[in-house]
């Protein structure tokens, strides 16, 4: 082999190696830690991961002299959005990482920006949170607010105590657009209607996920599959799904176990974690003056305190927030932030001012509740241990490193743990208002292998301990599509 060819081959191999390594870091799939590494951090775990609010005296490690790309209050098409994200990442690689989870029907990247003081590397015990915007392509405000949120988090790191604390203790994943194809055909100043709402195949992406209560017969779309794959690989603790067409924070369940004909009328469908979801919705709404006042959009009823149960507003099949919660234990709520779906760009400054504090404060709620590790008697992490808070029938799982997080309100609780090959266990714990409770649990090998299935199945299944009877959802889906097209409701 000629020397030139050999050197070229080595360069290609080195490039591929570092590319794969970078992707692994971005997706929090780094080389597994040894048990000794996990055991070593347990005595200090929690000391550097503060609760709410941030430590009163913070020594900033970085003097922020950001010189990143400019960002005005205007709408960005896919090309300009891509260029800005790349420029932002290039200007602040110590705080950001940019990756795509896949491509839309028409081949546009579904970009995600990680913002954190550890953007490329998963840090043991640090939770992942996310925002997803522009799921309906014609609901455009959230798409632009995500860019301004990224910019604010980066430029204020080292200057603002709360933001510095947030980035030091959280990995924030921000997807400005889940439906870039729909956005490209939507029209500015279109407050209602369905043009651009659907993906390029004509599907409503917020009716395209598996449903816990009723069978969803809609053909799954590429954008949906990429999101499902994404949240199966990264254990998100908290999530906000950003929409337009109303002014309210909506929480699970979006669907109801009622029969189809009873489902045509709105009725509350409360989740086992209803207290937590009401709290999360209130955190967002209370920091948005117009939302918290319950102001009604034209043709809509007002929402008390700016929050609502999803099904009580109107039921739907195949929503993303219920899927996040039931299948992956992620606390997601839907944030309707503008009465007009695609208002003129001149209104964007006002929408940012109204939502800035809500967007930032909501992320901090990932640090409320209980967190820790699940280990075996030798100190090895147990992956896929299934857990739930006693009397709450929707559970959550431990990560590959044995980590877990759960947002729980103050009070005394019992954690139930199950793992294949281990004895079940119950642990009492107490949650205070000031900071999360650290709870590291050791499971004992079962003398007789228990039959409770654990670990991540090939096809993700609901993390629930009781299952409803599935009913056909075609009629309700078709009715919802008609109503949304005619009346232009959110969600």
Q: CA 227 to CA 130: how far, in whole Å? A: 12
The answer to whether the peptide bond before residue 253 is cis (omega within 30 degrees of 0) is yes
**Helical H segments across 114-188, by residue range:** 141-156, 161-169, 180-185
Those residues with Cβ within 8 angstroms of residue 58's Cβ, 6 or more apart along the chain or in another chain: 161, 164, 165
Q: CA 212 to CA 215: how far, in whole Å? A: 8
Cβ atoms 167, 211 nearer than 8 A: no
| Cα–Cα–Cα angle for 129, 28, 460, rounded to 5 degrees | 75
Active site residues: 336
Q: CA 117 to CA 165: how far, in whole Å? A: 10
Strands annotated E in 49-152: 96-103, 109-115, 128-133
- Which two structure tokens, joined as six digits, stand for 18? 């570092």
Q: CA 397 to CA 389: how far, in whole Å? A: 12
The residue behind tokens 């799954």 is 220
CA nearest to 437, candidates 446, 449, 428: 428
CA nearest to 361, candidates 231, 240, 235, 237: 240
Cβ atoms 329, 394 nearer than 8 A: yes
Cβ atoms 381, 401 nearer than 8 A: yes
Name beta bridge partners: 413: 429
């Amino acid at each position: 082999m000629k020397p030139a060819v050999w050197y070229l081959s080595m360069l290609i191999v080195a490039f591929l190696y570092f590319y794969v390594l970078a992707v692994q870091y971005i997706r929090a799939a780094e080389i597994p830690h040894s048990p000794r590494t996990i055991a070593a951090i347990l005595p200090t775990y929690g000391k550097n991961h503060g609760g709410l609010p941030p430590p009163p005296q913070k020594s900033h490690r970085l003097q922020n002299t950001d010189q990143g790309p400019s960002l005005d209050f205007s709408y960005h098409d896919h090309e300009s959005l891509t260029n800005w994200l790349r420029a932002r990442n290039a200007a602040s690689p110590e705080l950001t990482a940019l990756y795509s989870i896949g491509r839309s029907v028409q081949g546009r990247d579904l970009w995600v920006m990680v913002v954190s003081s550890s953007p490329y590397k998963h840090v043991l015990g640090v939770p992942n949170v996310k925002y997803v915007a522009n799921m309906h392509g014609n609901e455009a405000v959230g798409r632009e607010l995500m860019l301004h949120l990224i910019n604010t988090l980066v430029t204020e790191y080292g200057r603002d105590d709360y933001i510095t604390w947030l980035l030091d203790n959280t990995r924030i994943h921000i997807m400005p657009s889940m439906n870039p194809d729909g956005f490209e055909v939507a029209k500015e100043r279109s407050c209602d209607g369905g043009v651009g709402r659907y993906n390029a195949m004509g599907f409503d992406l917020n009716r395209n996920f598996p449903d816990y209560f009723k069978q969803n017969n809609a053909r799954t779309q590429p954008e949906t599959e990429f999101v499902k794959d994404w949240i199966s690989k990264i254990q998100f603790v908290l999530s906000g799904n950003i929409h337009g067409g109303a002014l309210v924070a909506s929480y699970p369940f979006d669907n109801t176990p009622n029969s189809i004909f009873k489902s045509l009328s709105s009725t509350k469908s409360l989740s086992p974690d209803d207290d937590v979801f009401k709290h999360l919705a209130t955190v967002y709404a209370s920091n948005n003056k117009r939302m918290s006042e319950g102001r009604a959009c034209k043709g809509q009823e007002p929402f008390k305190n700016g929050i609502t149960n999803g099904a009580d507003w109107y039921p739907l099949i195949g929503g993303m927030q219920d899927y996040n919660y039931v299948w992956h234990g992620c606390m997601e709520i839907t944030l309707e932030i503008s009465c007009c779906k695609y208002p003129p760009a001149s209104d964007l400054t006002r929408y940012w001012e109204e939502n800035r504090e809500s967007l930032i404060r909501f992320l901090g709620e990932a640090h409320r509740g209980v967190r820790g590790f699940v280990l075996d008697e030798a100190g090895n992490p147990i992956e896929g241990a299934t857990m739930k808070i006693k009397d709450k029938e929707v559970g959550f799982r431990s990560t590959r490193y044995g980590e877990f997080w759960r947002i729980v309100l103050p009070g005394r609780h019992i954690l139930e743990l199950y793992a294949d090959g281990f004895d079940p266990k119950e642990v009492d714990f107490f949650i205070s208002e000031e900071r999360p409770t650290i709870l590291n649990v050791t499971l004992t090998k079962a003398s007789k292998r228990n039959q409770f299935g654990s670990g991540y199945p090939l096809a993700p299944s609901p993390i629930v301990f009781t299952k409803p009877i599935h009913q056909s959802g075609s009629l309700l889906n078709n009715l919802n599509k008609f109503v949304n097209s005619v009346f232009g409701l959110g969600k």
